Amino acid sequence: MTSEKVVMVANDMVTAYGWGIEACWEGLFSNRSAIKPIRHFGAETTQKSAAGIVDELDVKTHETRVMAMLKPLLQKSEKLIPKDSLCLLATTLGEIEYLENSVLNQQVSEGESCPAELLSKIEEITSLQKPGIVFSAACCSSTIAIAEGAAMIADRKESSVLVVACDSVSEFLYAGFSSLLVIDSEQARPFDQNRKGLNIGEAAGFILLMSEARALLEGRKILGEIVGWGMSNDANHMTGPSRNGECLAKAILQALENANIDRKAVASISAHGTGTVYNDAMEIKAFKTAFENQALPTYSMKGAIGHTMAAAGLIEALIAFKSLSQQKIPSTVGIQQVDAEAVGWISTNIQKASGCYALSTNSGFGGVNAALILKGREA
């Protein structure tokens, strides 16, 4: 029995560039970083008090930044989401502010910060009837959630899956990365010869996946297709990636095999590209292994909007779909001088794309790696 085709029929997102995919797309092509000073908590003792912050969030009393990002997105699209959809929530910290307030100010119960509580709120907003699933796999969370949702549909276990991803810039998150000494004291420069580290960021978004059969039956506009996925774990270190990139390469090759396409069909790569020395070096090694040293146009978004943690894979997948539809590839915002190992892969200029397939990769703490092969539709 052949697998069901998995298509995307609705989506939305918010990043430090603003609300919607267009705001992020235009920001990337302006080559302007959205990294800005942190104002909602004191960060004077950390490496640098700047991050990819969503401006002017309407954070209501007893609410969190995550909910202030998610609620408008979901309420606006609530009628598009079938009530029998399965919700897959990707987040690393959920509504972490509840835990912070409980510990620092004794204001609320720490139990409210549990990601399962956030999932329940999302299901209530969207009136979903099925109990959902939380995915918390570090910075691969939403990539893995998309892959799992696609696999469920391909195997006919579900016909509609809502993937939601979110993480906010919190004092807890900022202090953690600052203590690891991986935050760039200036703007992050992924794949730059003189890169020093990352900027953290916040974002939220969703993708509604359906079987192609159901989408056509309901007269849905098909915006793209998830055709392949792969995962691996290099089990190298709690926070550091394997230096040789072999396991990320395995995830990429698994995704290509799953998609049943030749590696030459891939038009571009949306890389994890954090701006840390070892992550970027590992990724380039993995790409060279997977594509047999045949360079492809490759870019990272994290110098523009920061590292948005669990939301990164979903946000990057949506921009990759946009890139395929427009046949344009953004440059890597923040880069000044391409690292010698990345020459031919990373460009400081906007590039034209040619083809209908893109690769999107993410890697995370604990050695986890994930890859998606995306198929675009005409603009």
Check residue 379 and give its pLDDT: 43
Asked if 183 and 239 sit in the same domain, the reply is no
* Domain of residue 93, CATH code: 3.40.47.10
Token digits of residue 250: 């395995």
pLDDT for the residue 43: 53
How crowded is residue 165: how many other Cβ atoms within 10 Å of its Cβ? 31
Q: If we measure between CA atoms, which residue out of 302, 298, 308 comes closest to residue 329?
A: 298
Residues contacting residue 176 through CB under 8 Å, at least 6 positions apart: none
Three-class secondary structure of residue 112 per DSSP: helix
- SS3 assignment, position 37: strand
176 in the same domain as 107: yes
Q: Which domain holds residue 203?
A: 6-217
Please tell me what DSSP assigns to residue 190. Answer: T
pLDDT of residue 241: 77
Of the candidates 150, 184, 217, which is a domain's last residue?
217
Choose among 197, 196, 174: nearest CA to 44.
174
Q: How far is CA 367 from CA 37, 62, 64, 320, in A?
A: 31, 35, 30, 24
What are the φ/ψ torsions at residue 3 (nearest 5 degrees)? -75, 155
Q: What is the pLDDT of residue 42?
A: 67
Q: Do 156 and 100 lie in a common domain? A: yes
47 with 182, same domain: the answer is yes
Say if residue 129 is in the same domain as residue 237: no
Residue 170 lies in a domain: yes
pLDDT at position 69, please?
Answer: 98
Alpha helices in the chain (DSSP H): 21-30, 65-77, 96-105, 115-126, 141-154, 171-179, 212-217, 246-259, 277-290, 302-305, 312-326
**Chosen domain end from 188, 217, 246:** 217
Tell me, yes or no, whether 293 and 361 share the same domain.
yes
11 occurs within a structural domain: yes
Neighbours of 173 (CB within 10 A): 20
Using CA atoms, how far apart are residues 322 and 328, in angstroms rounded to an integer?
A: 9
Q: Are residues 144 and 69 in the same domain?
A: yes
Tokens read off for 181 = 């000494």
**Does 182 share its domain with 292?**
no
- Terminal-to-terminal C-alpha distance of the chain: 32
- Strand bridging mode 133-135 / 50-51: unpaired
343 and 199 housed in the same domain? no
Distance CA 148, CA 163 (A): 10
Torsion of CA 198, 200, 205, 210, to 10 degrees: 40
Is residue 222 one of the residues assigned to a domain? no
What 8-state DSSP symbol labels residue 316? H
Please give the distance of CA 308 from its chain centroid, rounded to a whole number.
Answer: 7
Asked if residue 1 belongs to a domain, the reply is no
> Any idea what DSSP says for residue 5?
P
- Tell me which of 195, 217, 239 is where a domain ends: 217
Residues 231 and 212 both lie in one domain: no
DSSP classification of residue 348: S
CA-based diameter of the chain, in Å?
Answer: 59
Per-run averaged pLDDT (10 residues), the chain, 379 residues? 91 98 97 91 62 92 93 96 98 90 70 88 96 96 98 98 97 87 89 95 98 98 98 84 89 98 96 95 97 96 97 98 96 96 94 93 94 85
> How distant, in Å, are the alpha carbons of 93, 150, 157, 162, 170 from that of 82?
27, 16, 16, 9, 32
Domain count, the chain: 2
Residue 182 and residue 256 in one domain:
no
